[in-house]
Each structure stands twice: as structure tokens, then as C-alpha cells.
Amino acid sequence: MKSRNRRAQSGFTLIEIMVVLVIIAIMGTFVAVEVMDKPEQAQLTKINSDIDTYGAALDFYKLQNYQYPTTEEGLAVLAPKHIKKMKKDPWKRDYLYSSPGRDGSDYEIYTLGRDGLEGGEGIDSDISSSTQE
């Protein structure tokens, strides 16, 4: 009778569990390689998303106040009414803001890139609302 109960309580064997774990590990390796291979692209995507979020909040601010915040007021006037939380760039620095923008636009939101200095190339270059892709 006990042997019948054991057959009725069938489960996974150790080999089946090991095979599933190996498959998961292999899939995880492929995902990790894809993500680890493109950290700069992920950083640029975050910056573009943050700049878009700030831009929408600034436009809403202007609808309520009939003008964009001054450079001195900065992006901080948006929190918490227009944006829940102030965002940082991928290097943990605040985004910069100027009104009017350095290119003559109504405003400009920008980060100085990985190196934190004006200019630069690649991931070290300034990324701005006026230069977004």
C-alpha cells in the first residue's frame, strides 16, 4: 500500500530539476551578455527619458504660470506639484536647467555627461533637450 502512495505522490526528480536550472542559467547568461554589452546605450535612454519627463512637467508648469521657471528657480520648482521626485543623471548628478536655453530656445535641460565637464565626446559629451535624438 505504501508503494502505491509513493507512486501517486509523483514529483520532479533531481535530474529534471538540474536540467531546468541549467537551462535557466544558460538563458541568464545570454541576457546578462546583452545587457552588460550596452551600458552606455542604457544610460543614454535614461537621460532621454528623464529629459522628456522634465520637458512635459515644464510645459505643464507654463500652462499654470504663463512662463517657464527662471534659471535661478531651476527644476526644483517642479517638485512635488508637477513631478513626484527630482531625477538624477546616470552619474548621480542633478540635471542642469537654463531659461532661456543656451541655443536660444525657451529652456534647456542638460547633463554634462559622464565626465561632468562641458564638451567631450561620446558618453562624455553634453546631452541636452536641444540635442536629443
99 against 5, higher pLDDT: 99
132 against 117, higher pLDDT: 117
Length of the chain: 133
Give per-residue pLDDT as tens, 96-111: 999 998 888 999 999 9
Q: Given 1.10.357.10, 3.30.700.10, 1.10.10.10, 3.40.50.300, which CATH number is that of 39-128? A: 3.30.700.10
Residue 34's pLDDT is 66
Give per-residue pLDDT as tens, 58-88: 999 999 999 999 999 999 999 988 888 899 9
Residue 11's pLDDT is 76
Domain residue ranges of the chain, discontinuous segments joined by +? 2-36, 39-128
Residue 124's pLDDT is 84
- Nearest-10 crossing angle of helices 14-36, 39-65: 70
Q: What percent of the chain has pLDDT over 70?
A: 86
The arithmetic mean of pLDDT across residues 27-36, rounded, is: 70
Distance CA 44, CA 48 (A): 6
Strand order in the sheet with 127-128: 96-98, 108-111, 127-128
Distance CA 61, CA 57 (A): 6
Residue 6's pLDDT is 57
